[in-house]
Structure 1
Amino acid sequence: MSPQLLFRRYLSVVALLLVCGVATADESPPLTLEAATQKVTQDNPDLAQMLARAQAMAAIPAQEGSLPDPQISFNAMSLPVEGFDTRREDMTQLGFGLSQAIPFPGKLALKEQAAFHDAEMASLNADEVRLRLISDVKTLWWQLFYLDRALEIVDSNHSLLQQFVDIARSKYEVGDGLQQDVLLAQLELSKLLDQKIGLTGLRRSTAARLNALLDQPANQTVQIPTTVSLQLPVIKAEEQLYQQAENARPLLASERQGIHAAQSRLDFAQKDLLPDFMVEAAYGARSNMPDGTRRSDLLSLGVSMNVPIFAGSKQEKAIDQRTSELMQQRYSLQDKWNAVRAQISQTHSDYQRAQQQFVLFDTGIIPQARQTVASMLAGYQVSKVDFLNLVRSQVTLFEYETQYWKAFTEAQQALAQLTADVGEEAIYE
């Protein structure tokens, strides 16, 4: 080998090592499922804004339960315009007043109760968003895990089919095979390349969606661990999950708080038929007369109230409005409860199906398919098996291996969804 050729190969090896070193240096550590769920609860802006809203709503009940601000007034009464002397006229006085609006007893408490229930709804809605985000992150994480396994299977099958091409070419070159066998194997290699392009594009889009939930740049590289536990747990029966969801699901608790808030507003509307009061006190200071005669200061006290003479078109209509809103909240709770049970049943069924498929592929279909491929390959090498059947058996194995990981991933995604449907992690036997 010439020195120039050796030098070129040396440079190629050095360049390859440098590229690999840079890639290794830039490669981020794998994103575990636990780290992803923890990060979304800390950094997701949607959850942050829901928590900020809940904090804002928590400050409202105290405001609603407080009396209106008192009013302080100052006035000059019966002040003569000629000289503005406060001593000439007996009625002249400088007044200071204080007034306080006092709602009918119980009204403020009802307004505070309604605001408290609204604040509880906001907090529970934030909890519901947290559950949804964790479920979405787990779903996307497992989707990335599946795509990585599918890409590995594509690469593995590409290597095997390349061996088939070499075998077919060798047999063809010695006159013991057909050219169409070589072309058929090359066609299957091209199909695998097409599948790899599709899987790679899907992985990029899935990683971008996961990055968006984690508040990271959409094009940030996401590495997923290559090994996980393949044990699928046994989950509780649907009826047990129904009972847990009734108590643990934030969505249902939020709807119940909405009913309480609507009931408080209805009670307030009914009590609004009763009058509110205004308590007033005024002090009038009078100056002494020009000759020094002392004049007494004056104190004025008063109580006033509003008279609901337009109750038929105002307060009673408000009662009708609040009654309808209460019925709306009750129907909404029933609708949400029906939807939650339906979702639990569907997800429960999806998990059972995926689990059974995973076990079937793991213990039956894939081992049998691998034995079939090995037998076909041995038979083809001694010209006892048609090449087309050999390729078909390998393609079938490729499909079964892909479905194996897809079933495992769908089972894990169903568990993530079921946890969100129930509202807690305790869904296992």
Structure 2
Amino acid sequence: MFLQKQYFNNKLYNNILISCFLFFPQIVFAIETTNSMESKIQMLLNSHPELLVKYLESREKHHRSEHADVYPDPKFGFAYRSYPYRGDVTRDRSRPDTPGMTGNEYSIAQEIPFPGKLDLEKQIVQKDSELDLLNAEWIKNQFIRNYFETVLLKSALIREIQDLESLEKSINTGSKLESSQYSAGKSNITGTLRALNLKEKIKDRLFTRNTQLSELNAKTSYFSLDNTSFLISEEEILKFLKEKEEEFVKSYSEELIQKSPYFKYAEVSTEKAEAEAKKEELLHYPETEVFISYMQRRRKPFLLDSGPLNVSIMDNPEFSGDLWSAGITLRIPVWSLGKSADLNRANLLKVHRMQLEKRKQTYLLETELKTSIQSWMGNKQRVENFQSSLLPTLNRSITTSAAAYTKGDISLVDTYQFLNESIEMKATFHEVNLNRWLSLLKVLEITNNIIPEDNSHEK
């Protein structure tokens, strides 16, 4: 019994080891692939000025917010007080007739903001920083979506151009054959003319698609600043989007709308408007400033009788030493208080407007999200229908038409008409498949789920 149990344990241990060796590398590879994809996206985002400008603006305001609640600096003063004017501005205090209040005054004053004012100013700048950060997230999602859209559209155009070039070669060969048969009297001129018309139609379509491809190649210079090829291939993007598609199907809920930068932007804007309204209410509260001063007077301990008798030293009961002063200054809103009702009403209207803006943005996002989801699901079903029904049916029709042409039942031009319809159908398939991924990208953009949020810009 013991040997059987030991054998069973060893067998189980070996099976676990084999499973680990078989599946662990695949798991690691999948994780590395995902991380590699996200790292490529982050590398692109962290080097492009369109995003760096907004992130730096947010960081700038964040640092300003740390300075916004600094207490006002004290004011230091110095003054020459009560010097007699004798035709000049000399500061000679030795003459006997110099007034006793003559001297040098040193003062210090400190402004005391109304309680809560500095905190509100800091809060407002912080909200500005948050708005810039959310705006950067918004631009980031749009940037990635435009980047992916450009890559996918470029790849779809390249495939369509290849199909058109292949069809053009076949039509050229067929046109020569049709012309030979017409010269030999085996066919009428109608087939030759139809082949030439189809050839010109394909040539014009090739010209249009090549022009569009050139435009996209020029557009890539905006995303790739060093004018190199794309860092991310179409295969990587499609694999990335398929993984996101599976994750979205599993985790979808109506609460995802609250992760949107658009929703958060409206929310923070409302909070900022409320803070600004509270700050402007404080404009009608008294502002205080306290001060203290020290006056160094002219030394005058006694007076001499300089009259004709010159009898003796005269008594001086007045204090002749240094003086100090202290006090408080209040700014009373005498004139502005009469207009405070208008300002308060304006602030209330602003807060109410931002609350309505938040509701409007919520409704717009919900509608746009539902529309994008329906578009994504519809295009996905169309792609499945193309793959399972339309394209196989069209391929069978082409094969049948080729066999019928071999038997002489139809003309060569009719066969190329089937090929042209096949190209049209493939182009439609590529367009529907592209719209599927673009709709999914729009959904991921709205819910802020394209890539995880990166806080490295805050460092």
1:142–1:413 CA contact under 8 A, matched in 2: no
Q: Which residue of 1 aligns with 2:69?
A: 65
Q: Which amino acid aligns with 1:242?
A: E
Distance in 2 separating the partners of 1:215 and 1:113: 37
Is the Cα contact below 8 Å between 2:141 and 2:450 reproduced in 1?
no
Query: In the alignment, residue 416 of structure 2 is paired with which amino acid?
Result: V
| Structure 2 residue 114 is the aligned partner of structure 1 residue 104 | yes
Q: What is the aligned counterpart of 1:154 among 152, 159, 164?
A: 164
Per-residue deviation, 1:320: 1.7
Gaps in structure 2 of 5+ consecutive residues? 1-35, 304-315, 453-459
Q: How does 1:284-295 map to 2 (within 5 A)?
A: 284-289=295-300, 295=320
Taking a change above 3 Å as real, the CA distance of residues 261 and 224 of structure 1, as seen in their structure-2 partners, is closer
Matched, 1:304 2:305: no
Shift, 1:43, TM fit: 3.4
1:133-282 correspondence to structure 2 within 5 Å: 133-169=143-179, 171-172=181-182, 174-215=184-225, 225=233, 233-234=245-246, 236=248, 240-246=252-258, 248-282=259-293
The alpha-carbon distance between structure 1 residues 317 and 264, as it changes in their structure 2 partners (threshold 3 A), is: same
1:86 aligns to what SS in structure 2? coil
Normalised by the size of structure 1, how large is the TM-score?
0.82
The whole-number CA distance in structure 2 between the counterparts of 1:226 and 1:100 is 65
Q: Give the deviation of 1:227 after TM superposition.
A: 5.2
Distance (whole Å) between structure 2 residues aligned to residue 284 and residue 168 of structure 1: 116
Distance 1:33 1:184, change over 3 A: farther
Q: Which residue of 2 aligns with 1:55?
A: 59
Letter in 1 for 2:124: A
Question: Do the aligned partners of residues 224 and 100 (structure 1) sit closer, same or farther apart at CA in structure 2, a change above 3 Å counting?
Answer: closer
C-alpha deviations, 1:117-138, integer Å up to 9, x for none?
2221111111111111111111
- SS of residue matched to 1:73: strand
Checking the alignment, whether the CA contact within 8 Å between 2:373 and 2:439 is kept in structure 1 is yes
Residue pair 2:40, 2:231 contacting (<8 A) in 1 also: no
What are the superposed Cα offsets for residues 42-77 of structure 1, whole Å, 9 maximum, x if unpaired? Answer: 333322221222122213323331222322111010
Q: Deviations over 1:299-320 (max 9, x none)?
A: 1111111112224444333222
Determine if contact 1:33/1:138 at 8 Å carries over to the other structure.
no
Write out the 4+ residue segments of structure 1 that deviate beyond 6 Å after TM superposition: 32-36, 220-224, 290-294
Name the amino acid aligned to 2:323: L
The 3 A distance-change label for structure 1 pair 357 and 150 is same
Look up the match of 2:3. none
Report SS of the residue matched to 2:293: strand
Q: Does 1:380 align with 2:405?
A: yes
Q: Which has the greater radius of gyration?
A: 2
What is the identity percentage for the equivalent residue pairs of Structure 1 and Structure 2?
16
Q: Which amino acid aligns with 1:54?
A: S
With normalisation by structure 2, the TM-score equals 0.77
1:393 counterpart SS class: helix
Work out whether residues 401 and 415 of structure 2, in 8 Å CA contact, stay in contact via their aligned partners in 1.
Answer: yes
1:78 aligns with 2:82: yes
User: In 1, Cα distance between the equivalents of 2:180 and 2:232?
Assistant: 40
CA displacement 1:349-392 (0-9 Å, x = unmatched): 22112211211111211111111112111211221123443222
**Number of residue-to-residue matches in the alignment:** 393
Give the aligned residue type for 1:243: E
Q: Does 1:368 align with 2:375?
A: no
Amino acid at match of 2:146: D
Judge which range, 363-372 or 234-243, deviates more: 234-243
After TM superposition, the structure 1 stretch with the greater mean CA deviation from structure 2, 370-379 or 194-203, is 370-379
Residue of structure 1 in register with 2:307 after alignment: none
- SS in structure 2 at match of 1:99: strand
Structure 1 unmatched runs, 5+: 1-31
Two-structure CA RMSD over aligned residues (Å): 3.0
